[in-house]
Amino acid sequence: MVQAADLKNELRIHIVGAGMGGMGCALALAKQGFTNLHVWESAREIGEVGAGINITPNLSRILDQWGVLDIARSEAVALDGASVLNCAKDEVLTSVDFQYIEKEFGYPFYVVHRSALQKSLVTGATRSGVVKLHLGHLVTDWDFENSRFRVKERATESSKERLDNGATGGASLAEGKWIEADIILAADGVKSKARTAMLARIGEADHVEDTGQAAYRIIVKRSMINEDPELLPFFTGSHSYRWIGEKRHIIAYPIASHDLFNMSSAHPDRRFVEADTWTASGSKQEMLDMFSDFCPRVQKLLKLVPEGDVLEWKLRVHAPLSHWVDGNTALVGDACHPTLPHLAQGAAQAVEDAAVLGVVLGKIKSKDDIHRALMVYQALRKPRADWAVLTAAANGKGLHLSSGEAQEKRDAAFKAAKKEGGENPDKAIDQTTQRILYAHDCAKDADERFDELFKAVV
Ligand SMILES: Cc1cc2nc3c(=O)[nH]c(=O)nc-3n(C[C@H](O)[C@H](O)[C@H](O)COP(=O)(O)OP(=O)(O)OC[C@H]3O[C@@H](n4cnc5c(N)ncnc54)[C@H](O)[C@@H]3O)c2cc1C
């Protein structure tokens, strides 16, 4: 019988993707005492990509348990509340006070630049000394049967030069190499190839619904507003604003220690945007035309965005998958539950996956337990993550109603929620929804339910 410590040193754990889910897994497993940990990432560097991201209490709790919350919140803004406004009239439909969040769940509602959250996970993982990060490596093929994948090193300028000169090294770059693993965690994001390959093995395909919507994400720097008194409160305050209208909305809040005002939208996809990556560029003029009937404050902000800094991507809803696990490989994060941004849970749900994987894999006693432990992970996480995906999609629809009876009813509900604290039509700020999301301690839950589920799963 292998001793627990030997097993943790012996198991070859390979993680694909160094996003929130992947780096979260690396950190969670390092905290559990695993020492043979590899992360494969196609990007050549972990840069400052992205914009605003939400650190809700369910995510803060995990970061705190891992000792990295302070890194993420060093540049965070703790929101004092959120308002939903009519897009044309700039009239507040509802306003919610977030002070209750810290009292009830132990952490405020933080917003940060994505890079701050990523930095906290990467620093925690690398500080452990046991995580080997392989940047510039693209995983191209999956072999679930034999618990392995093929990875190719992305050619750098200097390696291309070496190839052109006929020097050695070219063969391995072109063909890649197979990595054999005891456990594979595929955290390769919204466009996951692991997901496609896993579904194909049982004759299934990813069911994707085109929402007909795309999203812009833009950032206004405080230095751009020339201390304009109309715009200054957006930066100095700690408030989130969602301007809503027919088929469109813009959500905005300050990030990066109040230096940046982060704005992201949802709107009809007129250009049939192809990319569902976060880095595809959009047209500033088209963006201004799209929101030309929005109130003057919003338009002022949009006009400040430099040409070339408008990013646009496609919003798609992925139906819940039938399974997340094949043999000793499990999908993680957006790879298995890509979530529309309307509930502010993409990163939080990916990191919850990682925390739960840490707990369940930390309990295995032999290699034979791996598959069942991954099935426990699926049993613990899938219902909650699938619910978040569907709730986010429904929220988008509810926010974009055209004028008519349904919209009047919704706006009356917004007003009632403001006065009486009733159900809020914007589920991202609805207290019942927030309680389901924020009160959950996923690591504790996994710890408590592991034995019972381990016996039950096949
Ligand atoms: C560049 C970028 C910018 C983003 N910006 C924002 C933002 O501003 N606001 C926001 O709310 N959310 C943003 N997101 C999404 C958000 O980070 C994720 O939805 C969420 O955190 C879930 O994390 P994840 O680890 O599942 O996926 P991701 O964070 O998307 O990470 C997936 C990782 O896998 C890597 N990868 C993919 N395929 C392969 C492959 N074949 N081989 C090796 N590596 C691979 C990708 O390069 C990426 O680093 C962004 C994601 C990315 C990749």
CA of 229 to the centre of ligand 1 (A): 36
Confidence tier at 169 by pLDDT (50, 70, 90): very low
Q: Is the CB of 50 under 6 A from ligand 1?
A: yes
Q: Is the CB of 193 under 6 A from ligand 1?
A: yes
Q: Is the CB of 41 under 6 A from ligand 1?
A: yes
Q: Nearest C-alpha to atom 12 of ligand 1 is from which residue?
A: 53
Q: Nearest C-alpha to atom 51 of ligand 1 is from which residue?
A: 278
Q: Are strands 137-143 and 92-97 parallel, antiparallel or unpaired?
A: unpaired
CA of 291 to the centre of ligand 1 (A): 28
Q: Is the CB of 49 under 6 A from ligand 1?
A: yes
Q: What's the pTM?
A: 0.93
Q: Nearest C-alpha to atom 20 of ligand 1 is from which residue?
A: 347
Rounded to an integer, what is the distance from CA 191 to the centroid of its chain? 13
CA dist 358 and 374 (Å) reads: 10
Residue 318 tokens read as: 């992925």
Report pLDDT for 83: 95
CA dist 323 and 457 (Å) reads: 13
* pLDDT tens digits along 396-445: 888 888 778 888 888 888 888 876 667 888 889 999 999 999 999 999 99
Report pLDDT for 2: 67
Report pLDDT for 164: 44
Q: Is the CB of 189 under 6 A from ligand 1?
A: yes
* pLDDT tens digits along 336-391: 999 888 999 999 999 999 999 999 999 999 999 999 999 999 999 999 999 999 99
Residue 105 tokens read as: 């769940």
Report pLDDT for 418: 73
CA of 313 to the centre of ligand 1 (A): 13
Question: Would you say 198 and 329 are in contact if contact means Cβ atoms under 8 Å apart?
Answer: yes
Q: Is the CB of 350 under 6 A from ligand 1?
A: yes
CA dist 327 and 449 (Å) reads: 22
Report the atom number in ligand 1 closest to the C-alpha of 341: 11
Q: What is the mean pLDDT of residues 103-107?
A: 97
In the chain, what is the straight-line distance between the N-terminal and C-terminal CA atoms, in Å?
23
CA distances from 294 to 147, 255, 287 (A): 52, 23, 11
Q: Is the CB of 17 under 6 A from ligand 1?
A: yes
Sheet of 92-97: strand order equals 92-97, 81-86, 239-245, 248-255, 260-268, 208-221, 311-318
pLDDT at 3 over 80: no
Q: Is the CB of 24 under 6 A from ligand 1?
A: no
- Vertex 263: Cα angle to 235 and 82 (nearest 5): 65
Q: Where are the beta strands (DSSP E) in 98-147?
A: 110-113, 131-134, 137-143
* Alpha helices in 128-181, H assignment, sequence order: 157-164, 170-175
Residue 436 tokens read as: 């389901």
CA of 187 to the centre of ligand 1 (A): 9
CA of 189 to the centre of ligand 1 (A): 5
Mutation pick for ligand 1 pocket among 39, 42, 192, 316 (CB with most ligand atoms within 8 Å): 42
